[in-house]
Structure formats: structure tokens, C-alpha cells
């Protein structure tokens, strides 16, 4: 397939072309990488921007249920919604938490939605680049909202927040010392905490959990990118589709404020720089792992492992030898 004709179909919002292009960016074959890179360059001129919303939560908290309900709510307003997943678990166990069950059945049949499960057999670095490129493809295809979903495992929340305009944390109601379950760093990333399952018997627990988090958020240092009163904690019920309008209103309020105050653009600029540096870091490591540096690297790794050399000294020697000291 010619890059240009694939690109034109994507610009026309063709979902099958979009799916094919994402398969292309996921491929590690050098000729595919070259085509993917040409395609992204061809599409970059379109300058289309979606609202990129990151969403995280541990398994079982209701991410798929929420994304389906929220996605349907958005498409009902005439918006086009894409859902991507960053699932580091697929790298470790070989099985994907986010991908292997039939998820979001109704949303997947909605002509204004596009859902792409996480690729398997890839390390987080690979998934990360593929997701960033998939976001760019979805934007070129004219999607208004791109939801990037992840489970709270390892680095994945940081990665997703670094590619999102807004970051939502989905929690389930719990009794007792619930707060200890969420790391401070993740709280600090969140723009909106959504306590899900605020329905039926769980409603009182959800109310308490929400109040606890609202209190905890007030104790965090105020961030320059937030107007007064943010980040917020609120309750939703994905199953009963309650709180979706309110959540969307908060997202829009925050978005408008950040756009008007320059924080929207500056966040994207900072993220571009972050990913540039990340690519340099990954690229350097990948090249150092090729011969002849590979042998030196293996030797130094063993020296560090056996305590013959310190990590700092070995790293400095490696860099001096290959970059000039």
C-alpha cells in the first residue's frame, strides 16, 4: 500500500485504514518502520488535535465499563472517540489484562468510535512509542477525543500521563484505610479522581472514599496548571451511567482554563521534549547493545554485578569509550 493513499484514507476518517496504519507502526520490521515514519510525516501537516485523556485504574475497578459508558456518552454528543491501551502486563505474563476479554462491545460497534487493544509481546518502551504514534494517527483521522487506558502497573501511569492532556484516575469504593492503596505520585498526576461504583450498596462507601480523596487532594501542593479547586474527586457509576455529564463538564472546564492560560500548549511542548530525550536515551542504549559496544557493555555489566566495579564508574567508562570523554 502506498503511504500517500493510506494517509489520504486516514485523513478521510477511514477506520480500517487507521487500523492498518496502527499495525504498521506496531511492526518492528525495518521496511515497515520506514513506511510508518513516512506516513507520520505525511500526516503531520494535517495539524489536527484531539483531546488526549489518560485513564488509569487497577484491574476490576471498572475501566472497561466506564470507557464504554463514557465513550457512548461522548459519541452521543457527536464526538468521535478513539480508545488505545498501554498494558505493561502483556510483556511480563504474555497475557494481556486489557486486551484478551471481549471488552466494550457496544462501543466497538459505534461508527463514531475506534478501539484498539494493546499490542502484546513488546516491552514498555516499544508499547510507548507505538501508542504515541497511534495517538498521532487517531488525531490525523479526525478523532475528537483519544482515551489512553492503562492498568496501574509499574511505570505505565507515568508513561500515559506524559502523553495525555488530562489524566483520570479511576478508583473503587473501599472501607477503612483506602488511601494507602494509591501512591502519592499517582495522586499528583491525576487531574480528576473518579470514584466508580457509586451505586446500590456501594454508594455509602463510595461517598466516604470520595470525601477521603477530596481531603487528600486538598493537602497536595497547588499546581500551576490548575484553577482553584482542582484536582477534584467525584463519584460516578459506570454501570448506571451516573456522573458522566458532570465528569465531562469538569474535563471541559479544566481544558478551557488551561487553554486560556497557556498551560495546554506548554504541557504539549514539555511532553515533546520529554519524548525526544526518552527516544535519545532508548536509542543510545539500543546502539550500545549492538556490537562492538555490546561486548564492552556485557563485560561492564558483569563487573558491576560481581561488585568489581561501581555502577557510576562503569557507566562513565562506557560513555567515555563510545562518546569520547
- CB-closest chain residue to ligand GDP: 62
Nearer to ligand GDP, 35 or 64 (CB): 64
Nearer to ligand GDP, 239 or 304 (CB): 239
Q: Which residue has the cell 561492564?
A: 300
Instruction: Using alpha carbons only, give the angle 147, 149, 151 rounded to the nearest 5 degrees.
Output: 165
Closest separation in Å from C-beta 64 to ligand GDP: 4
Nearer to ligand GDP, 137 or 238 (CB): 238
Nearer to ligand GDP, 66 or 230 (CB): 66
Please spell the DSSP secondary structure of 251-320, one letter per residue.
HHHHHHHHHHTTHHHHHHHHHHHHHHHHHHHHHHHHHHTSTTHHHHHHHHHHHHHTTSS-HHHHHHHHHH
Closest separation in Å from C-beta 55 to ligand GDP: 10
Closest separation in Å from C-beta 118 to ligand GDP: 12
Q: Return d(Cα 286, Cα 322) in angstroms, integer.
A: 13
User: Which among 169, 254, 161 has a CA at the least distance from the CA of 209?
Assistant: 169
Cis peptide before 292 (omega within 30 of 0): yes
Closest separation in Å from C-beta 236 to ligand GDP: 7
Its sign, for the CA torsion 208, 213, 215, 216, is positive
Which parts of this chain interact with ligand GDP (CB under 6 A)? 57, 59-65, 196-197, 199-200, 202, 237-239
Closest separation in Å from C-beta 103 to ligand GDP: 7
Q: Return d(Cα 223, Cα 158) in angstroms, integer.
A: 17
Amino acid at each position: 500500500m502506498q503511504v500517500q493513499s493510506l494517509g489520504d484514507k486516514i485523513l478521510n476518517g477511514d477506520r480500517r485504514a487507521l487500523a492498518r496504519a496502527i499495525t504498521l507502526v506496531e511492526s518492528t520490521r525495518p521496511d515497515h518502520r520506514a513506511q510508518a515514519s513516512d506516513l507520520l510525516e505525511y500526516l503531520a501537516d494535517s495539524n489536527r488535535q484531539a483531546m488526549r485523556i489518560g485513564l488509569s485504574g487497577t484491574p476490576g475497578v471498572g475501566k472497561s465499563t466506564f470507557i464504554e459508558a463514557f465513550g457512548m456518552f461522548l459519541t452521543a454528543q457527536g464526538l468521535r472517540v478513539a480508545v488505545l491501551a498501554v498494558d505493561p502486563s502483556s510483556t511480563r505474563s504474555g497475557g494481556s489484562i486489557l486486551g484478551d476479554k471481549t471488552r466494550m462491545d457496544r462501543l466497538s460497534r459505534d461508527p463514531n468510535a475506534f478501539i484498539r487493544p494493546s499490542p502484546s509481546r513488546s516491552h514498555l518502551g516499544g508499547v510507548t512509542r507505538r501508542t504515541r504514534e497511534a495517538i498521532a494517527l487517531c488525531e490525523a483521522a479526525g478523532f475528537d477525543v483519544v482515551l489512553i487506558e492503562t492498568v496501574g502497573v509499574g511505570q505505565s501511569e507515568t508513561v500515559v500521563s506524559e502523553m495525555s492532556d488530562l489524566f483520570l484516575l479511576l478508583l473503587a469504593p473501599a472501607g477503612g484505610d483506602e488511601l494507602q492503596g494509591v501512591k502519592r505520585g499517582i495522586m499528583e498526576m491525576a487531574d480528576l479522581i473518579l470514584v466508580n461504583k457509586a451505586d446500590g450498596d456501594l454508594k455509602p462507601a463510595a461517598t466516604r472514599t470520595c470525601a477521603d480523596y477530596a481531603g487528600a487532594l486538598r493537602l497536595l501542593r497547588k499546581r500551576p496548571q490548575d484553577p482553584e479547586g482542582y484536582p477534584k474527586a467525584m463519584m460516578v457509576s459506570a454501570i448506571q451511567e451516573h456522573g458522566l455529564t458532570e465528569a465531562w463538564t469538569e474535563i471541559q472546564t479544566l481544558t478551557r482554563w488551561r487553554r486560556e492560560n497557556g498551560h495546554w500548549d506548554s504541557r504539549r511542548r514539555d511532553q515533546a521534549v520529554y519524548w525526544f530525550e526518552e527516544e535519545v536515551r532508548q536509542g543510545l542504549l539500543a546502539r550500545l547493545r549492538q556490537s562492538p559496544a555490546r561486548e564492552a557493555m556485557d563485560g561492564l555489566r558483569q563487573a558491576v554485578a560481581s561488585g568489581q566495579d561501581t555502577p557510576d564508574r562503569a557507566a562513565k567508562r562506557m560513555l567515555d569509550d563510545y562518546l569520547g570523554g
